[in-house]
Every structure is written in structure tokens, then in C-alpha cells.
Amino acid sequence: MTEEKAAPASGSILVVGGGISGLTTALEAAEVGYEVFLVEKNPYLGGRVAQLNQYFPKLCPPTCGLEINFRRIKDNPRVKVFTLAEVEKVSGTPGNYEVTIKINPRYVNEKCTCCGDCAQACQKEIDSDYDFGMKKIKGAYLPFEMAFPSRFVISPEIIGTDDAQRCKDACKYDAVDLDMKAKTMNFSVGSIVWATGWQPYDATRIENLGFGQYPNIITNMMMERLAAPNGPTRGKILRPADQKEPESIAFVQCAGSRDENHLPYCSYICCMASLKQATYVRERYPEAKIYVFYIDLRTPGYRYEKFYEKIKEDENIFLIKGKVAEVSEDTTTKNITVVAENAVTGEKIHQTVEMVVLATGMQPTTAAAKLPADLTYNDDGFIINDVASGGMFGAGCANKPADVVSSNQNATGMALKAIQTLVKR
């Protein structure tokens, strides 16, 4: 490449969403020389991956991969991170966008050493969204041990109360600032990548599967938190009704997905997620019996197929081709009976287990709330990329249901598309 033909590394890119996809887009673009603004609505980066216990197929803790990305961000002055932030307005055309961002107050400044004294002093407890309400946390909290930025947050729920003052009084470092206000900032950027990710499908809407009615029916994301060492049970998988170690568990596949009444598409990851979670159970309870009820088991690609082959060999794991039609609870034992028709033998199955995990699917966050920009969505709310017009692109699970590897590949591609918009200006 001659000097004249080399792309100029100038211009800025806005990346919205600091999950694994947004982190990837931001870093790939910044590491070739572009300035990137990374806007995340949570008080921490990492998105849903930060809530997982282990990654399939390697079964390593996701904090490893996230840590590497956080280090790359710390080492790269071209990435400017804004947490507790959301885009309010976008105007302009590819190459020339004006963006307004609202940054909500954290009430804790950069002097925070994470000593935890404010949390000790705070009396009010709030539900932990990170743990899907299965744990209470103090009104002053660190989202999780490895959180980036590594800084406490004071919940708006305690602002204006004695507890807020107690937090301020307890802080030896003058890091609590109760007068912090929301502020808006304006940026000029050339391209925007929307990596706004997914949310778990609301399982209470699948009425025949009993979530919200029977305590021993949980979702797959709740299972990730139960199995995680930093979760509500410190990694012990216990059934919610009585904290008993379950001796039998049923996984209900396609809970909401591939169903015209809910999510008409395949969520892509929930077969692999259940097979992975079966290994969580088997590790902790070698005698436990696991029943996986599925329509099809979708484990695409060589590595996932190998994972599935290995699980199939386990004599305590029973893979049953049959869609679960209903569930019921024994009011005394709190056990759950799952009813399905075996699609191979035609036999009607009534399987009683101590706990049920619903393999709920992924819904784009944009299904519920559209973004303040001129974007096109499909019927399910995923962003459709108009690569020819350029300028704005959806990446990762904002674009389609995906695992981490595919999200990263897609996010890298979108970094390139964002750069091409700047170069073409």
C-alpha cells in the first residue's frame, strides 16, 4: 500500500453497547487508529457475558476473556468509555452524525478505591438485577468483583435518604458525591455501531411452562447465576423453594423460541447452553439425573457437535425428543412433573423432577424499545443492516441471535464497515 492510498486513521466512531460485541467493535477500530466513543447503559462493561458462569465449548470462566478486553481498553487512549449512558438523539448522514448522549449519575467519583465501607454503612438492601432478583445487595454496591470500571455505584433508590448520607460519611476518600447530576454531551462522529444486544425472553409469558407460578422452575440465565461462584448461592445449584440440592433436573428446550406465539425464530445458543449447564449439574452432583426435552438439538459446527457427542455418552443424561406441553407442581414436595410426547416412540411421558430449567431464548433489546436513530428492524426487532447506504450498523445480538464467537466475528466486520464509512467521507 502506498502512502497516498493508505486509509487515513481519522474520524470518530460511536459504539453503543459495551457487551462483548461492542467491546470488540470498539477495540478493533481503536487499534487501527480511530477514536471511539463507547456508550454503555449499565454501570459496567461486559453485557450478558459478565453474568455467565462458564463459556461453551471450552468451559472457561468468561471473566478471562473480558479481562483481556478491559486491559486493551485501559491501554488504549483512543477508546473513551461512558457507563450509565444512553444515546438520546442522532441526526445527520453517513460520515457526519451529531449525537447527544445522556450520562446518569453514579454518585461515586474516580477517587473510589473499592474499599466497600459505603456498602457496610448502607442499611437499605435492593434486588440485584445482575442476579435476576435472586439476591439482595446494598444500596451502595460494586456490580461484581471484576467489574470495569472498578468503581462502586450508589443506587438512585437511596438518594435523598439517610442511607445516602451514611455512605458519604463512611467514605474516607471523598469519593461519594451525592450532588452528581445527569449530564448531556454532544459528539460528532462519522459512523455508529449499535451493539445493544439481547434480553432473556420473558418466561412468565409462556403460561403452560409455569415460570413465576412454581418456584422450582427457573430460566437458563438464572441457572448461570446459580452456578457462578459470585452468584447468589456462591456456585451451589440449589432449588429455590427449599435450597435443596436437586437430584433430578429437566431442561425444557425452545421455551418460547420457535413458537409463533412467542419468538418465531431459533435462538441459536440455548441447546448448547443447556448441554453446558448439564455439565454444571453433573460436576456438583454426580448422581443427579438430567432430562433434556427438545424439538431438535442444534449444536452447529465441529466443536459444538463434539461437545454434544461427549454429553450423549453420559449415562445420567437423558435426551428426549419431545416438546413439553405442560408442567404441574406437587404442592407438598414442590417437585415438578413435566408432560411431553416422545416424538420417536409416540409415548406420553410424565417425568417428575426436583427442578426445571427453561431454555428461554434471546430477544433483541430493540424489540421493546426502538433506538433514537433512523434504523430498519425486522419483524422480531433485530436491526437490519443496510451496508450499501452505510453509516450505521447493528452488531452481535442486536443483529441476530448468536454465540460469543459469532458475535465477535460480526462485530469485527462491523468495525470494518464503520471504518469504511469514515474513509469514504
Q: Please state, in angstroms and rounded to a whole number, the distance separating the CA atoms of residues 12 and 7.
A: 14
Q: Which is nearer to ligand SF4, 25 or 277 (CB)?
A: 277
- By CB under 6 A, residue 405 contacts ligand SF4: no
Q: Interface with ligand FAD includes 256 (CB under 6 A)?
A: no
Is position 221 an interface residue for ligand FAD (rule: CB under 6 A)?
yes
Q: Are the C-beta atoms of residues 85 and 101 closer than 8 Å to each other? A: yes
Return the number of the residue (19 or 391) whose C-beta is nearest ligand FAD.
Answer: 19
**Rounded to an integer, what distance in angstroms lies between the CA atom of residue 284 and that of residue 307?**
19
Cα distances from 52 to residues 38, 59, 65, 361, 419, in angstroms, run 22, 11, 12, 15, 31
Beta-bridged to residue 392, according to DSSP, are 192
Q: Judged by CB under 6 A, does residue 16 bind ligand FAD?
A: yes
Sole binder of ligand FAD in the list 273, 278, 290, 320 (CB under 6 A): 273
Q: With CB under 6 A as the rule, give the number of residues binding ligand FAD.
A: 37
In this chain, which of 28, 117, 329, 354 binds ligand SF4, going by CB under 6 A?
A: 117
Does residue 178 interact with ligand SF4 by CB under 6 A?
no
Site for ligand FAD in 183-202 (CB under 6 A): 195-198
- Which of ligand SF4, ligand FAD, none is residue 56 near (CB under 5 to 8 Å by kind)? ligand FAD
Question: Contact at 8 Å (CB) between 110 and 81?
Answer: no
Residue ranges in 72-91 that form contacts with ligand FAD under rule CB under 6 A:
86
Query: Which CB, 239 or 298, lies closer to ligand SF4?
Result: 298
The whole-angstrom separation of Cα 102 and Cα 105 is 10
Residues facing 193 on adjacent strands: 15, 393
Choose among 321, 254, 308, 239: nearest CA to 278.
308
Q: Which residue, 252 or 353, is less far from ligand SF4 as judged by CB?
A: 252
Q: Does position 175 bind ligand SF4 by CB under 6 A?
A: yes
Nearer to ligand SF4, 44 or 268 (CB): 268
39 scored as a contact of ligand FAD (CB under 6 A): yes
Identify what 175 binds: ligand SF4, ligand FAD, none; CB under 5 to 8 Å per kind.
ligand SF4
Binding residues for ligand SF4, rule: CB under 6 A, are 108, 112-118, 152, 170-171, 173, 175-176, 253-254, 257-258, 266-268, 270-271, 296, 298, 359, 361
